[in-house]
Chain A
Amino acid sequence: MTVAGRRTTELGLLVLGTMFVVGAYALASVPEDSDIPATVGPFLALAIGLPLVAHVAVRRLAPQADGMLLPLASLLNGLGYVFIVRLDEARTRPQGLAGLQSLWMVVGVGAFVATLLFLRDIRTLERYRYTAGFVGLVLLLLPLLPVIGQTINGSRIWVSLGPVNFQPGEFAKLALAIFFAGYLVEKRELLAINRGLGPFSLPDPKHLGPILVAWGVALVVMIAEKDLGSSLLFFTLFLVLIWVATERASYLVVGITLFLGGGYLAFSSFNHVQERFDGWLNPWESDKGGQVIQAAFAFADGGIFGTGLNLGMPVGRIPVVESDMIFAAIGEELGLVGATAVLIAFLLMIGAGLRIAQQTSNGFERLFATGLTTLLGFQAFIIMAGVVRLLPLTGVTLPFISYGGSSLLANWVLLALLLRVSNDASERDAERAAAGQLTEVG
């Protein structure tokens, strides 16, 4: 498609997605006597207004960016919202999660627009890579502080400042992605030098130093905070970026070995790690197996087409169903079909993100886009795999869908960053094509 066509495609897809979301909302919340609820006005404003604002922002600020990402994100966000409405209001004591989520959606889109507005060139970020790294680590450490740090559900990943609770870890991911990408791009030549030892050649360790330190601290912090899912995510981010940057498969091998070793160590030393594995491999007997068992029952009830919105019974059975386990509710009510649609949506986003990474010629942008895509794609995979028992269950959110302000905010910013890279890369391509040159950096 032509670059000009992208925005049109984007608009078209957004409209389709919005129609779907509005329809789903109607099914989920219009009661049998078909009175139109009072909330329909604000909802429509949200469901139509937000994608519209985002689209206009992209038209103005990043007109040549990829046209698939925003509609997919908007669709997932809307679907998640519909589910949160349906789930929270089915509770005997609703917690107003839908209202809160809609607030965060507005803030999220606001941050999206702000990011596009204030960040005109991704390479600015590259300059601040060390700052970003530092900020990232600080954000990670925040929940460990007394007074403002909070332990919720066994993990210490929350910070409360007055009335607001947020998870700095979500933003730390973005900051550390900037740092990893920036550092690796700078040092990749050095890191790619072989130092004997045949196929398992290793680089000069001193160049790896800062990055290993950063990664090590991040991991230790996460184990201390008992946030195993984020641990895994960070490790994956690090491994993927170093592999892509250096083009050396040896890093993969070493990394995976380290991972298995570290994992085994963690397993034998930490109770909560053992419990997670127990709950994964043997949920029927384990104390911690409850969540995945309920999720499995939910999927079983859903079958191929699902029980239908509002006709399942996820509430009261599936724990944390509005956040981590929301995929189980989707599986129950929308069935295999609905769950697969979500899988495909994430896969398409991954595809778009990686395409953006391939498209740009700038090293930092490549790595950064890859890192962002990795964060999005793997986080979604980790939690969905946990819910269906492909992996042990961890406490990460499903991007765009789960209830959670910090996660939503961070993901909208992530989206904006990807679109910025996409736009800049496309603009450069257009200029070069106009100037008759088109090179690719491998």
Chain B
Amino acid sequence: MSKQIRNLGVFLALCYAALFLQVNRLTVFEAQALQDKPENTRQITRDFSGPRGDIVSADGVVLAESVPTDDQYLLQRRYPTGDLFGHVTGYFAFQLGTTGVERSYNGYLNGEDIGFSLDRLGDLFVDRDVVGDVILSLREDVQQAAREQLGDQEGSVVAIDPRNGEVLALWSFPSYDPNLLATHDFAAAEAESTRLSDPAIGQPILARSYRDNFFPGSTFKVVTSTAGIQIGGVTADEPVYPSVTEYDPPSGSPIPNFGGSSCGGNLFQILQRSCNSSFAEMGVEDVGGEGLVETAEGFGFNRDIPFDLPRSAQSTIPTEVDGTPLSQNPGVVGQMSIGQNDVRATPLQMALVAAAVANEGNIVGPHVMREVRDDQGNVVEEYDPEVIARPMSASTAGTLREAMMSVVADGSATRLDDGLDGFDVGGKTGTAQLGTDPPKSHAWIIGFAGPPGEVPHVAVAVIVEGQNGASEQTGGQVAAPIAAAVMQRALAPPDRAEQDGDSGAGG
């Protein structure tokens, strides 16, 4: 029997060796292939059930958090502020994916990008959730002001700090409640997702503040003015544009002023009155199509502006007309100079235009993230602001700043400084005609405000879409009060205790 028993032992050893090899195969050689299999939901679940950091506003309001649940996914992503920050936080959903801050900063929120710090060697033995909380620059009180002011009019409000590019408010109506998309009832989430994409209810899922573009109308005249000063030799005093009811370009249709009124004057005056004829003339004769495009592109048009929310839209300005150069199409150039024709801008872009004027000609890259902290409150990452564009020189900016302040003092934007006594306030209204019948237009305003003598602490862009009529007053009447209230809130210190660190605008 001995021999047989020994052979049995050998046979069993071989069997177990085969087992060992097979386990090797599964854990090492085929592991990656197995993990990549589409049926393998472990990675998705891992992402989905793993601990996740909070998203917090600059003034300490929790915008997104993970709470334990009883189901197999263990954690539910919850958005306490609902639709107020829907477009900013985005959502984190199992089958619908991720958007917004949840997506841009996914690596911090789930801890993957947070370095392993060796001074906490004890972490090796303790089961700590190393995830990061993303602290935004947006303030809940300013965002709230934006929502209240805009009400249920379709439109957007963007407020940024020109000094460092921090976004203080990013609101568009209609918005959506991410809780309804992050729910574990996947059928309901799918249905809601479909519903939110419906244009009939205004497509709430789309954050129009930075993902959609519109005719900027007269707010674009700030860009035209910049081109005029830098390329066209325009100064605060000269030239003095003739007082006419319309501008007749060498070819193409004339560009009339609103309601057939006549206007003209120097830079400040035409900006205050938002004089179409003068700016059309400036664009066609003093700047030229190429110059206008070049200046606009200096502001960010036709380019992707680095922004830390995904899929932002480009603002565009045509560089040619049906294959022919702009120089052969002065009529189009004239219209472009007043922000019509095919010029399209996102509200974010227009806020950056105001910010450039405010910040001595520099555009600092906009961002919603301010810093990332670990679960013990230590800062692990800070947004490093940098100048991404310099569309104008400091002296041009100085001139335009004065000009825009005069628009508020004496021009079409007098309501922009409501409640802002003691601050320097500058702005430019806009009424972008949509060419519909009956006439409708977008009411715009861009502006800035801050303590006298300093770089303004806040720049805004407000658009209220689809207003009835096309009066030049529309921007000043509809959009300006909204912007004023938002800037006022932004300049005031936040109500709540902030996270340790620098304060936002004002304070």
Q: Does the CB pair B28–A336 fall under 8 Å?
A: yes
* Minimum C-beta distance from A398 to chain B (A): 12
Return B82 CB to nearest CB of chain A, in Å: 28
Given known A-B contacts A92-B72, A240-B8, A374-B8, A297 and B16 have beta carbons under 8 A apart: no
- Collect the chain B residues with CB atoms within 8 Å of residue A374's CB: 8
Instruction: Collect the chain A residues with CB atoms within 8 Å of residue B9's CB.
Output: 350-351, 354
Contact of A347 among B1, B13, B49 (CB under 8 A): B13
Q: Which of B26, B27, B128 contacts A32 (CB 8 A)?
A: B128
Task: Give B308 Cβ to nearest chain A Cβ, in Å.
Answer: 31
A313 engages B3 (CB within 8 Å) = no
A303-B45 in contact (CB<8A): no
Q: Separation in Å of the A381 CB from the closest CB of chain B?
A: 5
Q: Mark B164-184, 1 if CB is under 8 A from A, else 0.
A: 000000000000000000000
| 29 A-B contact pairs sorted by A residue (CB < 8 Å) | A92-B70, A92-B71, A247-B1, A247-B4, A296-B26, A297-B35, A297-B42, A299-B23, A299-B26, A300-B31, A313-B42, A317-B42, A336-B23, A340-B20, A340-B23, A343-B16, A347-B12, A347-B13, A350-B9, A354-B6, A357-B5, A367-B1, A370-B1, A377-B12, A378-B12, A385-B22, A388-B23, A390-B18, A442-B1
Q: Does B19 contact A (CB under 8 A)?
A: yes
Count contacts on A: residues with CB < 8 A to the other chain: 50
Whether A390 and B22, one on each chain, are in contact in the complex, defined by CB atoms closer than 8 angstroms, is: yes
Taking A296-B34, A297-B40 as known contacts, 14 extra A-B pairs with beta carbons closer than 8 A to each other, sorted by chain A number, are: A32-B128, A92-B70, A293-B39, A299-B31, A300-B40, A303-B28, A311-B127, A313-B42, A331-B23, A340-B20, A343-B19, A343-B23, A366-B5, A388-B23
Q: Which of B9, B24, B71 has the most CB of A within 10 A?
A: B9
* Inter-chain contacts of B32 with A (CB < 8 A): 300
Q: Tell me, in angstroms, the Cα distance from A300 to B40 when the chains sit together.
A: 10
- Return A306 CB to nearest CB of chain B, in Å: 9
Q: Which of B6, B23, B40 has the most CB of A within 10 A?
A: B23
> B22 contacts A300, CB within 8 Å?
no
Chain A nearest CB from B410 CB (Å) reads: 64
Shortest distance between the CB of B27 and any CB in chain A (Å): 4
Instruction: Determine if A302 is an interface residue (Cβ-Cβ < 8 Å).
Output: yes
Of the candidates B27, B37, B71, B126, the one whose C-beta lies within 8 Å of that of A336 is: B27
Bound complex: CA A142 to CA B396 (Å): 98
> Residues 256-291 of chain A: 1 if any B CB is under 8 Å from the residue's CB, otherwise 0?
000000000000000000000000000010000000
Residue A389 CB within 8 A of the other chain: yes
- Measured CA separation A252–B9 after assembly (Å): 15
A389-B22 contact given A304-B27, A335-B27, A366-B5, CB 8 Å threshold: yes
Q: Is A139 an interface residue (CB 8 A)?
A: no
Q: Which of B19-63 contact A (CB under 8 A)?
A: 19-20, 22-24, 26-28, 30-32, 34-35, 37, 39-40, 42, 45-46, 49
CA distance A329 to B80 in the complex (A): 37
Which residues of chain A have C-beta atoms less than 8 A from B39's C-beta?
284, 293
Secondary structure of the B contact surface, majority rule: helix
Partner of B26, one of A313, A347, A388: A388
Residue of A300, A316, A367, A381 near B27 (CB, 8 A) is A300
Contact of B1 with A302 in the complex, beta carbons under 8 Å? no
Q: Once the chains are docked, how many angstroms separate the CA of A313 from the CA of B47?
A: 12
Interface contact A313-B40, CB-CB below 8 Å: no
Q: How far is the CA of A33 from the CA of B225 in the complex (A)?
A: 63
Q: Does A116 contact B (CB under 8 A)?
A: no
Contacts of A403 in B (CB 8 A): none
> Is B2's CB within 8 Å of the partner chain A?
yes
Q: Which residues of A contact B (CB under 8 A)?
A: 32, 92, 240, 243-245, 247, 284, 293, 296-297, 299-304, 310-311, 313, 316-317, 331, 335-336, 339-340, 343, 346-347, 350-351, 354, 357-358, 363, 366-367, 370, 374, 377-378, 381, 384-385, 388-390, 440, 442
A302 contacts which chain B residues (CB < 8 A)? 27
In the complex, what residue of chain B is closest to A347 when comparing beta carbons?
B16
Segment 102-156 of B: residues with Cβ below 8 Å from A: 126-128
- Taken residue by residue from 221 to 254, chain B's Cβ proximity to chain A (1 for < 8 Å, 0 otherwise) reads as 0000000000000000000000000000000000
Find chain B residues with CB under 8 A from A313 CB: 42, 45-46, 49
> Do B19 and A385 have beta carbons less than 8 Å apart?
yes
Asked if B8 and A244 sit within 8 Å, CB to CB, the answer is yes
Q: Give chain B nearest CB distance to A31 CB in angstroms.
A: 9
Min CB distance A121 to B, Å, is 20
- Give Cα distance in the complex from A325 to B429, angstroms: 70
Of the candidates B15, B27, B40, the one having the most CB atoms from chain A within 10 angstroms of its own CB is B27
* Residues of A contacting B70 in the complex (Cβ-Cβ under 8 angstroms): 92
CB-CB under 8 A from A247, the residues of chain B are: 1, 3-4
Give complex CA distance A354, B12 in Å: 11
* Cα distance A385–B45 in the bound complex, in angstroms: 28
A301, B42: Cβ atoms closer than 8 Å: yes
Q: When the two chains form the complex, which single residue of B5, B15, B27 contacts A331, counting CB atoms closer than 8 Å?
A: B27
Q: Are B12 and A350 in contact (CB under 8 A)?
A: yes
Smallest distance from the beta carbon of B375 to chain A beta carbons, Å? Answer: 11
Is A244 within 8 A of B26, CB to CB?
Answer: no
- On whether the beta carbons of A297 and B19 are closer than 8 Å, the reply is no
| Assembly CA distance A87 to B46 (angstroms) | 17
User: Using a CB-CB cutoff of 8 Å, which residues 69-121 of chain B contact chain A?
Assistant: 70-72
Chain A residue nearest to B23 in the complex (CB): A339
By a CB distance below 8 angstroms, the chain A residues around B72 are: 92, 316
Q: How far is the CB of A307 from chain B (nearest CB, A)?
A: 10
Q: Which residues in A have their C-beta under 8 angstroms from that of B127?
A: 32, 310-311
In the bound complex, how far is the Cα of B128 from the Cα of A442, in angstroms? 61
Are B28 and A244 interface neighbours, CB within 8 A?
no
Which residues of B (400-419) have their CB < 8 Å from a CB of A?
none
User: In the complex, which residues of chain B have a beta carbon less than 8 angstroms from the beta carbon of A303?
Assistant: 27-28, 31
